[in-house]
Amino acid sequence: MQSISQHPIPNLPSPSYKRVVIIGGGFAGLRLARKLKGSSYNVVLLDKNNYHQFQPLFYQVATAGLQPSAISFPLRRVFHDTPNITFRMAEAKEIDQLGKRVYTNIGYLDYDYLVLAMGANTNYFGLNNIMEHSIPMKSVSEALFIRNKIISNYERAINIEDEEALKSLLNVVIVGGGPTGVELAGAMAELRNRVLPKDYPQLDFANMKVVLVEMGDQLLSGMSEISSKKAKLYLEKLGVQVKLGAAVEDFDGKLVRIKGGEQIYTQTVLWAAGITPNKIGGINAGSLSKSGRYLVDQYNRIKDSEAIYALGDICLMQDEAYPNGHPQVAQVALQQANTLAVNLKNMLRGKPLKAFKYKDLGSMATVGKKLAVVDLPFIRFQGVLAWLTWLFVHLMAIVGVKNRLFIFLDWAWNYLSFDPALRLLIRPSYVKPRDRDKLVEDKN
């Protein structure tokens, strides 16, 4: 077991009753840990980062609308004054199911119940060139990289005269017509239309294309047809070129090739076309579906396991309403975490378990300033009211009052001035003092 520590994780409290180990501090993992606060369980939450990330707003970090800290929240802060919950920043590597042990990069720990909530990563569908040259958006750091990439391109473009090279730097191609792709395309178009011309008056932004490529025949495939059509209409009004029924088959870093022969010169391809579940070693291959998701029963227990559960994007639960599994969205993860928390507590009391039933609370996507679409179980609406609804729902879902205040102030400023102030090109770098001295000597 390479890169796996063979000693126990130090300084973990000894469990007074049973230990629940949760791998992943995303929507499902964090919700479950919070629901078990004050219970008799000793809960250990593991995550490779020491913060929770609010994924629905990654695109606003990528387009300079929000600062990264506004949508990230320290996990340790969540669990102040919670003696039964412990957090460790660690990367889980492998599970020993028979020994009920999890191996990580900082040591191993034993469990009574194990919950997998590692979320999903970018799916490139085997397209190696695209994996090499495109940019995903599954973390705050990736969103920040997109921001730096785009701003860096414009800083370079202002010093270039060759028209083809200029277009390659300015054009942005977004692949994937789900909520992430639609919201990213709308935000990029508004930057081009209202903000970037003020920063770079020497550039002709009529040369800049924002292209959204979707393989299916409609945008927002999980939403209603009217919302899909409205989203497309809003994007086109913003100047986004929407290409439906189009599949990207290659990208070499400078040229995007779309199936059928169309080509677009660009150095910036943002990939939002699909997800693939994260996995961990030690789970029986028979517990995996064809899509790579863990097969679970109605209690989110992994097939052929009595003590391992999976939540959210990485699990597949089949029932009459969802024969192909539930949609891979945050609401499913949150509701599954709520149900599992109830069941773990019922185990303590000797009560019967509660089967999971998904309640669809609706879907929504914002396209731009005062433009959004909302599908609720009892009503569908678009436009300004939908935009305000989207703002309220996302603001209330953010962890931490301070984060909500920062986001509200940023949104208010952007609405009134439409001039986001976070267009900074920050590249982390550090030169050791002795190396700095050597550079000075070499120059002299």
Are residues 227 and 193 located together in one domain of the fold? yes
Are residues 228 and 132 located together in one domain of the fold? yes
Q: What does DSSP assign to residue 239?
A: T
Give the pLDDT of residue 438: 53
Q: What does DSSP assign to residue 384?
A: H
How confident is the model over 167-206, as pLDDT tens digits?
899 999 999 999 999 999 999 999 999 888 988 999 988 8
Q: What is the 3-state secondary structure (H, E, C) of 293-320?
A: CEEECCCCEECCCCCEEECHHHEECCCC
In a domain, 431, yes or no: no
Residue 134 has pLDDT above 90, yes or no: yes
Give residue 234's domain range.
128-273
Give the pLDDT of residue 429: 54
Q: Is-above-0.85 flag for pTM?
A: yes
Residue 126 three-state SS: coil
Domain-terminating residue out of 216, 249, 273: 273
Are residues 36 and 118 located together in one domain of the fold? yes
Location of structure tokens 């961990």: 280
Are residues 194 and 112 located together in one domain of the fold? no
Are residues 174 and 268 located together in one domain of the fold? yes
Residue 247 has pLDDT above 90, yes or no: yes
Residue 439 has pLDDT above 50, yes or no: no
Count other C-beta atoms under 10 Å from residue 348's C-beta.
Answer: 12
How confident is the model over 96-129, as pLDDT tens digits?
999 999 999 999 999 999 999 999 999 999 999 9
CATH of the domain at 146: 3.50.50.100
Give the pLDDT of residue 436: 46
Residue 217 has pLDDT above 60, yes or no: yes
Task: Tell me which of 140-149, 287-296, 395-404 is least confident.
Answer: 395-404
Are residues 284 and 177 located together in one domain of the fold? no
User: What is the C-alpha separation between 380 and 223, in angstroms, rounded?
Assistant: 10
Express as a percent the part of the chain with pLDDT over 70. 90
Residue 371 has pLDDT above 70, yes or no: yes
Residue 272 has pLDDT above 90, yes or no: yes
Are residues 269 and 280 located together in one domain of the fold? no
Residue 2 has pLDDT above 50, yes or no: no
CATH of the domain at 342: 3.50.50.60
Please check whether residue 117 is in contact with residue 311, taking contact to mean a CB–CB distance below 8 angstroms.
yes
Are residues 185 and 235 located together in one domain of the fold? yes
Contacts of 234 (CB under 8 A, 6+ apart): 186, 367, 368, 371
pLDDT bucket at 336, cuts 50 / 70 / 90: very high
Please check whether residue 213 is in contact with residue 246, taking contact to mean a CB–CB distance below 8 angstroms.
yes
Are residues 267 and 160 located together in one domain of the fold? yes
Give the pLDDT of residue 420: 59
In a domain, 407, yes or no: no
Domain-terminating residue out of 349, 368, 402: 349
How confident is the model over 378-437, as pLDDT tens digits?
999 999 999 999 888 988 888 765 677 777 777 666 655 556 555 666 665 545 555 545
Contacts of 390 (CB under 8 A, 6+ apart): 364, 365, 366, 372, 374
pLDDT bucket at 1, cuts 50 / 70 / 90: very low
End-to-end distance of the chain based on CA atoms, in angstroms? 51
Are residues 266 and 177 located together in one domain of the fold? yes
Which comes out higher in pLDDT, residue 300 or 222? 300
Give the pLDDT of residue 83: 92
Choose among 14, 141, 29, 150: nearest CA to 84: 14
Express as a percent the part of the chain with pLDDT over 90. 72
Are residues 266 and 154 located together in one domain of the fold? yes
Are residues 104 and 194 located together in one domain of the fold? no
